[in-house]
Amino acid sequence: MLLNRMSWPDVKRARIAQKVVVLPLGSFEQHGPHLPFTTDTDIVTGIARALERKRPGKILLLPTLWVGHSTHHLTFPGTLSAHQMPYIQLLVELCGCVAGMGAKKVFLLNGHGGNDVPARAALRELKCAFPAVRFVFASYWSLAAKTIRAVRESGPGGIGHACEMETSLMLHLHPDRVKMSLARRDGPRHADAYRRVDMQHARPAYFVEEFHEMSKSGVIGDPRLAAPEKGKRFFEGIVAEVGVFVEAFAKW
Amino acid sequence: MLLNRMSWPDVKRARIAQKVVVLPLGSFEQHGPHLPFTTDTDIVTGIARALERKRPGKILLLPTLWVGHSTHHLTFPGTLSAHQMPYIQLLVELCGCVAGMGAKKVFLLNGHGGNDVPARAALRELKCAFPAVRFVFASYWSLAAKTIRAVRESGPGGIGHACEMETSLMLHLHPDRVKMSLARRDGPRHADAYRRVDMQHARPAYFVEEFHEMSKSGVIGDPRLAAPEKGKRFFEGIVAEVGVFVEAFAKW
Amino acid sequence: MLLNRMSWPDVKRARIAQKVVVLPLGSFEQHGPHLPFTTDTDIVTGIARALERKRPGKILLLPTLWVGHSTHHLTFPGTLSAHQMPYIQLLVELCGCVAGMGAKKVFLLNGHGGNDVPARAALRELKCAFPAVRFVFASYWSLAAKTIRAVRESGPGGIGHACEMETSLMLHLHPDRVKMSLARRDGPRHADAYRRVDMQHARPAYFVEEFHEMSKSGVIGDPRLAAPEKGKRFFEGIVAEVGVFVEAFAKW
Amino acid sequence: MLLNRMSWPDVKRARIAQKVVVLPLGSFEQHGPHLPFTTDTDIVTGIARALERKRPGKILLLPTLWVGHSTHHLTFPGTLSAHQMPYIQLLVELCGCVAGMGAKKVFLLNGHGGNDVPARAALRELKCAFPAVRFVFASYWSLAAKTIRAVRESGPGGIGHACEMETSLMLHLHPDRVKMSLARRDGPRHADAYRRVDMQHARPAYFVEEFHEMSKSGVIGDPRLAAPEKGKRFFEGIVAEVGVFVEAFAKW
Amino acid sequence: MLLNRMSWPDVKRARIAQKVVVLPLGSFEQHGPHLPFTTDTDIVTGIARALERKRPGKILLLPTLWVGHSTHHLTFPGTLSAHQMPYIQLLVELCGCVAGMGAKKVFLLNGHGGNDVPARAALRELKCAFPAVRFVFASYWSLAAKTIRAVRESGPGGIGHACEMETSLMLHLHPDRVKMSLARRDGPRHADAYRRVDMQHARPAYFVEEFHEMSKSGVIGDPRLAAPEKGKRFFEGIVAEVGVFVEAFAKW
Amino acid sequence: MLLNRMSWPDVKRARIAQKVVVLPLGSFEQHGPHLPFTTDTDIVTGIARALERKRPGKILLLPTLWVGHSTHHLTFPGTLSAHQMPYIQLLVELCGCVAGMGAKKVFLLNGHGGNDVPARAALRELKCAFPAVRFVFASYWSLAAKTIRAVRESGPGGIGHACEMETSLMLHLHPDRVKMSLARRDGPRHADAYRRVDMQHARPAYFVEEFHEMSKSGVIGDPRLAAPEKGKRFFEGIVAEVGVFVEAFAKW
């Protein structure tokens, strides 16, 4: 079910307590010279819609929040972002509305790395406010690690931001929004393992770097390896793996 | 120009200081049994896109903020809203990003009455933070009062929420999202002039009423008078009148 | 009844739930070279006292809050003001005390334009905190628009701040506090209707201007047209029109 | 100089950096059955005006802030108060305006015990914000301890709230506002020295008690000992001792 | 009882409602060239442990909070401090936990002057949140004024910070942490009684001075008079006098 | 270098910009029936001291912050915690002091899982406030994953809280604080991989569970497998692996 196309009496009849309510979290931030600001939002919306299409009776899909926490991208003009604390507050507000309409299971499906810390912080606030509602947060790349490892061709550092994977996904979902001729590899090349940047590399130590400290172009990874067919494989694998999680979550 | 379809190097080249940057403000709130939650967002987005199409070189159009301040609608399930203070903060955040990318004139084009007070409050905060940037806020129905008076057929109380005008605009813009068979007149019928509710009636005294205190169905006004052709006349008049303001603002 | 002159056992006996409690909102801000900082406070106090004198059994009058939201006047030395958010908080605090003593109808009678937005914002917070108490906010010039139109001689731009009306009211109420020899016309003279400044002109678009951006002397309007007799007519008309509202409000 | 009666050009000419700016802090809180809510405000205003009359060239007197921090009195109806944090913020706002107009020495002359802790907290915030401006806070009874000891007839527990001293001062300053026939002794009579309540007794341990936990009538002390002539001696002694401090402060 | 050495089932069995729970408040701030940053924490911990040793069944001793409010020492490198508002919040948090585990009497035993105002402010917040729990705050030097007067040899200005008393106490408790050869007298020598600085002098007027405005070395007072034997006398007298208070408090 | 034992002139001479400043983060929370509230604090302090002992010239060690973010343990009495937002603020305060004394590299060495999200959030705030200072956060078990995998005997679910590892470490560091006879295995045994709890298992989806929802005793894992000798091996491996990170960080 798409909340977008419903009215309040529809919601009243919808037995929300028995659904998994999905709130996709995007961003509006620079994605290098070859991808639009909406990249994260476009991708996570695509994934969420596909998920819902397969389980229309189980999922209530909310609109994608296109404002993300992108403070680290603000030196690249065009980025629209909320700082950490207002972003946490915004998530708490929206999730509070969802709890208020009777939801018991709420899945924040994330499409932007910068949302990770503040969304986790928001979940702590929500647990205090709504102890009986289950709020779960996951980034699609965490749930779909297997797929990504299987499909990617790049080595460490190839998948980061506006990279092999995101560019492929956009070529699959919105080819008209990609300017492949401008795609370039970029990103830090530290010898030091603690500082390696890759969406599939969990750093043992955490620190904050602004994006301009790591990349001149706004890209981290290798978008030259992107292709529409690869995007299709990423997409279908991600949708399947995220779907496995949703099925499990529905049974908690 | 549509920021949605740009990259950061495009923005860098765009001479933003010479544009009117437009941020449309919508909502995600109940609109009675016959209209979707996206009504305000759909309408203001439609107006903003039409404005931009006529002046692609003068306007930089941002994505519509679909989260609005709809605390007064929260008892109707499905509404997604930010309370007043987080909403103010969110506007300050987004407008801060816009100022940060070099804009000098920013127009918050509003499509939802509930945003009025917090948006004005946000402008005060922004004036302190960015004294040299002009932020202007206006609801389309204020700028287009003449058109609305000319087109409306209802008397006082006919245009409020999910009403003759909004339903007509949706019939024009998104006829598939309207269930006309469910449209009913609703809203308070106070004898007392201080409490009359109509989008074109400025009350001399201000007070806050939750929507469920005024309307059982979530409608205020008379959506039965709505028609697609009337929607077209509303729409074109509004776009023209808002356009006159944008032209004037560009010259301030 | 004047709360100022009561003790707590008097209040306990006063059947507050059946009164209209009136909190006058003033300011302490520059009013040009010819009027004192207390102008708004003096005028709104005068109106409130006259209202109460006519309905001692119906009204419980609180002391006038002389601190207003006058951020836009701060470059004129002598102005004492609270920024927007602390001012909102202050109103919430005071109104919370009033709700706590059992009031059901509270009228914030306003005498300073800068209080308008934050007072409205405060009412939203109060509605959430005290859903069963009616808080109403109105500026005297909104309730008394008819009188003002009838009495004023100036054209558009003549009534703004330290103007024909305020100066006349002060000449009537506190002639010793007015230095008529220093009264000068001032204020912006934009051709553009969107930017016209007059207390009786509702702008369709909203923006924040600091006072020094509009007036060198701190005056907007034409105080030269002020006269004591005119002040008397303004005052009596205002008191009557505000009284009509109070009578209506008492019946809600 | 009285800021109340000045205009902004007067302030500009006033060499504020060379004055002691005095902000009197009152309250609006219950003072038993025999005194009005304005008692603290009336007394501190009386003292401040007398101070200024003797040193019109040295002192710039601001209006008395009648809103105080009286949370501990809120169960007595009629009290109007700001909670601690908004009260701190309010003092910071007002003192910020004073610093902004060029003051270098600002004296918060206090007339209400409940303001003590939040005013000290405000001074810490102000020191960070305006390191070069001297803000000093003192309650008149601290500066005038000698006078009070000399004039009082009551033993320990006689001077607290609506007591021998405050009632005497009101009989001297505003005899029409006192209902002596209702004056009764009240207040706690702990054997334990740690809990003794008297304005001239400094407790070595600090704890918060709501007023209704200590007094049924809202009085602490013995107002029956009050007399107009005693009020005059209190008043003149206090004005003299506070004046000694102002003279010293002016030389720091 | 030492909470440090307990487990949660121990706490469950401990009848906390019948204990005096003691939270010692220290600081981590410069104490001149001859004492460590932990001085206040070391002293207050020593006193608290001695108190508990004598009344193991009556007292539940919490760990000493070594973070204090030391904004006024921040120009001396090495100081670790929380600003006033976060410090208040921290005390509220910790005391909230203590209330949550069932305590009815909580004693904040203070060892650092800078904590005085924010701790009092915290107690006001706690009284609102937990009206039935007694929170008491006292600095050891206030409770033990008699001892200190008896033992001290210095005149006014001799006991302030890193002074005769604190240095003696450290020589008694932790002689290895004192570098007596670096001990020097320092601190302001105003003629003006309003500005005298001594832990045993209550100033009638309050103002904030940063430490570097009063002392070059970070010392106020005369540490040259310190001696281990004197430290023992201070310590034993303080423990005894604070103990008298704890006994009284236990009976409230 | 141990900041604890220094004076401010020592700090001034210490060339702090060239050190790695280490702030150990502990907690004061229940650790089952067999371990004290100080467990995390004791362990992280032990590790930090060992690190410093090996590199006294490179490391400036601060005192361990024993207040952690342990909201999820609050139903177990005795836990002392700061909620998330005040904890973030506290870290920002302390790290702000460290930046203020000239540090360029600051390592928050963490010993408590609950600190993870708020510490990351604090780092984002610090990056905005001090863009040129490197703040790094890491939990010792993340840096020492190899050691832990090598030494542990338990399978998945064996290392969580008050578990095989923590109990072993305490048996090595503070054997007198462990009551092995009370050690029991506890914790959730979900079939579902998304909900497995083990310090070495990274969950792909994030959600907040209060501790009492997962464990009756407050233990997660198998403390019965703990042994002093094993604790020694854990400890030495951890100190070595954390040391490798410190060496790398010193070169960034």
C-beta of residue E187 within 8 angstroms of C-beta of residue E220: yes
Q: With a cut of 70, list the residues of chain B below it in pLDDT.
A: 191
The rounded distance, in Å, linking the Cα atoms of C61 and D26 is 19
Tell me the C-alpha to C-alpha distance, in Å, between residue C133 and each of B220, C18, D76.
23, 12, 20
Q: Look at residues F156, F181, F152, F188 and name the one whose alpha carbon lies nearest to residue F169.
A: F152
Q: Are E163 and E222 in contact (CB under 8 A)?
A: yes
A34, A36, A77: residue with CB nearest B101: A77
The pLDDT score that the predictor gives to residue F82 is 98
Q: Do C36 and D4 touch (CB under 8 A)?
A: yes
Chain C residue with the nearest C-alpha to that of B114: C124
Q: What is the mean pLDDT of chain F?
A: 97
pLDDT of residue B5: 95
Determine, for residues B207 and C135 on separate chains, whether the beta-carbon distance falls below 8 Å.
Answer: yes
> What's the residue count for chain E?
252
Residue identified by tokens 């007839």 is D153
Contact A101, B32 (CB under 8 A): no
- The sign of the dihedral angle between the CA atoms of A51, A55, A59, A62 is positive
* Bridge partners (DSSP) listed for residue F179: none
Question: pLDDT-derived band of residue F133, with 50, 70 and 90 as boundaries?
Answer: very high
Report yes or no: C142 at the B interface, CB cutoff 8 Å: yes
Does pLDDT of A193 surpass 90?
A: no
Top residue of C34, C73, C94, C97 to mutate, by most chain D CBs within 10 Å, is C97
What pLDDT does residue A192 have? Answer: 83
A169 interface with B at CB cutoff 8 Å:
no
Question: For residue D192, what pLDDT band results from cuts at 50, 70 and 90?
Answer: confident
Residue ranges for chain E with pLDDT beneath 70 = 191
Q: Which residues contact E200 (CB under 8 A, 6 or more apart)?
A: E141, E145, E148, E149, E152, E159
Beta bridge partners of D221: D159, D186
Per-residue burial over C33-51, b if 16 or more Cβ lie within 10 Å, else e, is: bbbbbbbbbbbbbbbbbbb
Of A8, A23, A108, residue with least CA distance to A60: A23
pLDDT band at residue F224, thresholds of 50, 70 and 90?
Answer: very high
pLDDT, tens digit, 9 for 90 and up, residues A230-249: 999 999 999 999 999 999 99
Mean pLDDT confidence for F164-190: 96
pLDDT reported for residue E192: 83
For Cα atoms F118, F124, F127, give the angle at the middle one, nearest 5 degrees: 140
* Shortest CA gap E137–chain D (Å): 5
Please indicate if any CB of chain E lies within 8 Å of the CB of F60: no
Q: Under a CB-based contact definition with an 8 Å cutoff, are residues B146 and B186 in contact?
A: no
* SS3 assignment, position F66: coil
Q: Which pLDDT belongs to residue B192?
A: 83
Which of the residues D7, D19, D27, D60 would you substitute to probe the C interface, choosing the one with the greatest number of C C-beta atoms within 10 Å?
A: D7
Q: Note the pLDDT of residue F69.
A: 98
Tens digits of residue pLDDT in D39-56: 999 999 999 999 999 999
CA distance, residue B91 to nearest chain C CA (Å) = 14
Evaluate whether E170 touches E178 at the Cβ level (below 8 Å).
Answer: yes
Whether E98 contacts E21, CB under 8 Å: yes
E-only strand ranges, chain B: 20-25, 59-61, 105-110, 134-139, 159-161, 220-221
Report the C-alpha gap between A96 and B80 in whole angstroms.
9
Task: Using DSSP bridges, classify how beta strands C134-139 and C105-110 pair: parallel, antiparallel or unpaired.
Answer: parallel
The two three-digit tokens of residue E185, written as one number:
């007298």
Q: For the whole model, what pTM was predicted?
A: 0.97
**DSSP β-ladder status, F159-161 and F220-221:** antiparallel
Shortest Cα distance from C204 to chain D (angstroms)? 32
Do the beta carbons of residue F123 and residue F191 sit within 8 Å?
Answer: no
Q: Are A76 and B101 in contact (CB under 8 A)?
A: no
Please indicate whether chains C and E are in contact, defined as at least 3 beta carbon pairs under 8 Å.
no
Dihedral over Cα of B195, B198, B204, B206: its sign:
positive
Q: D163: which residues sit within 8 A by CB, 6+ positions away? A: D154, D199, D219, D220, D221, D222, D223, D226
Query: Are the C-beta atoms of B35 and B29 separated by less than 8 Å?
Result: no
Q: Tell me the average pLDDT across F10-35.
A: 98
To which H or E segment does residue C117 belong? helix C116-129
3-state per-residue secondary structure call for chain A? CEHHHCCHHHHHCCCHHHCEEEEEECCECCECCCECCCHHHHHHHHHHHHHHHHCCCCEEECCCECCECCHHHCCCCCCEECCHHHHHHHHHHHHHHHHHCCCCEEEEEECCHHHHHHHHHHHHHHHHHCCCCEEEEEEHHHHCHHHHHHHCCCCCCCEEECCHHHHHHHHHHCHHHCCHHHCCCECCCCCCHHHCCCCCCCCCCECCCCHHHCCCCCCEECHHHCCHHHHHHHHHHHHHHHHHHHHHHHHC
Write the secondary structure of chain E as one string of H (helix), E (strand) and C (coil): CEHHHCCHHHHHCCCHHHCEEEEEECCECCECCCECCCHHHHHHHHHHHHHHHHCCCCEEECCCECCECCHHHCCCCCCEECCHHHHHHHHHHHHHHHHHCCCCEEEEEECCHHHHHHHHHHHHHHHHHCCCCEEEEEEHHHHCHHHHHHHCCCCCCCEEECCHHHHHHHHHHCHHHCCHHHCCCECCCCCCHHHCCCCCCCCCCECCCCHHHCCCCCCEECHHHCCHHHHHHHHHHHHHHHHHHHHHHHHC
Residues 6+ apart with CB under 8 A from D57: D1
List CB contacts of E108: < 8 A, sequence separation 6 or more.
E23, E25, E91, E95, E119, E123, E135, E136, E137, E138
With CA atoms as reference, report the closest residue to D233 among D151, D155, D153.
D151
Q: Rounded to whole angstroms, how far apart are CA atoms C111 and C234? A: 14
Closest-CA residue to D245 (of F88, E203, A224): E203
- Residues C99 and C106 sit within 8 Å (Cβ to Cβ): yes
> For residue F192, what pLDDT band results from cuts at 50, 70 and 90?
confident
Q: Tell me what the pLDDT averaged over chain D comes to.
A: 97
SS3 D199: coil
Q: Give the model confidence (pLDDT) of E220-236 as tens digits.
A: 999 999 999 999 999 99
Q: In the CATH scheme, what is the homologous superfamily, with its name and number, of domain B3-249?
A: Creatininase (3.40.50.10310)
pLDDT at F17: 97
Q: What is the pLDDT of residues E71-110, one digit of tens each?
A: 999 999 999 999 999 999 999 999 999 999 999 999 999 9
The pLDDT tens digits of the residues spanning F53-96 come to 999 999 999 999 999 999 999 999 999 999 999 999 999 999 99
Q: Does D118 touch chain E (CB under 8 A)?
A: yes
CA atoms within 13 A of residue E30's CA, in its CB half-sphere: 27
Q: Rounded distance, CA E110 to CA E23, Å? A: 8
d(CA E162, CA E143): 19
What is the model's pLDDT at position F190? 73
- Please tell me the distance from the alpha carbon of residue F76 to that of residue E11, in angstroms, as a whole number: 9
Contacts of D136 in chain E (CB under 8 A): 205-207
Chain F's closest residue to A192, CA to CA, is: F248
**Contacts (Cβ under 8 Å, ≥6 apart) of A162:** A31, A32, A34, A35, A39, A218, A219, A220, A221, A223
Instruction: With a cut of 80, say whether residue A145 has pLDDT above it.
Output: yes
Q: How far apart are CA D198 and CA D186, in angstroms?
A: 12
Nearest in space to E69 (alpha carbons), one of E121, E107, E15:
E121
Instruction: List the single residue in D71, D207, D248 with the smallest CB-CB distance to E135.
Output: D207
What value does the mean pLDDT take over residues D119-127?
A: 98
How confident is the model at residue A117, as a pLDDT? Answer: 98
ipTM value for the complex: 0.97
- Cβ-defined contact of D97 to C81 (cutoff 8 Å): yes
Among D30, D93, D218, select the one facing C86 at the smallest CB separation. D93
pLDDT tens, residue order, chain C (252 aa): 999 999 999 999 999 999 999 999 999 999 999 999 999 999 999 999 999 999 999 999 999 999 999 999 999 999 999 999 999 999 999 999 999 999 999 999 999 999 999 999 999 999 999 999 999 999 999 999 999 999 999 999 999 999 999 999 999 999 999 999 999 999 987 768 899 999 999 999 999 999 999 999 999 999 999 999 999 999 999 999 999 999 999 999
Displacement of CA D113 from its chain's centroid (Å): 7
The two three-digit tokens of residue B79, written as one number: 């509404």
Task: Say if CB E163 and CB E221 are below 8 A apart.
Answer: yes
Q: What is the CA radius of gyration of chain F?
A: 18
Please answer yes or no on whether B78 and A8 come within 8 Å at the CB atom. Answer: yes
Output the pLDDT for position C192. Answer: 83
C-beta neighbour count of D156 within 10 angstroms = 11
Smallest Cβ distance to F62: which of E9, E80, E102? E80
pLDDT in tens, D144-185: 999 999 999 999 999 999 999 999 999 999 999 999 999 999
The count of other CB atoms within 10 Å of the CB of residue D5 is 13
Gap from B29 CA to chain A (nearest CA, Å): 9
D216 to chain C, any CB pair closer than 8 A? The answer is: no
Q: Nearest-5° angle of CA A186, CA A187, CA A190?
A: 135
Residue B252: closest C-alpha in chain C? C192
- The confidence score (pLDDT) of residue B190 equals 73
Which H or E run includes B89?
A: helix B84-100
- State the DSSP code for C45: H
Interface of A with B in 31-50 (CB under 8 A): 31-38
What pLDDT, in 10s, does the model give residues A4-62? 999 999 999 999 999 999 999 999 999 999 999 999 999 999 999 999 999 999 999 99
- Residue with the two structure tokens 């509220």: E92
Compute the distance between CA of residue E231 and CA of residue E163 in angstroms, rounded to an integer. 12
* Pick from B9, B34, B62: CB nearest A7: B34
Spatial distance between the Cα atoms of F116 and F110, rounded to a whole number of angstroms = 8
DSSP B63: P
Q: For residue E117, which residues of chain D lie inside 8 Å, CB to CB?
A: 117, 120-121, 124
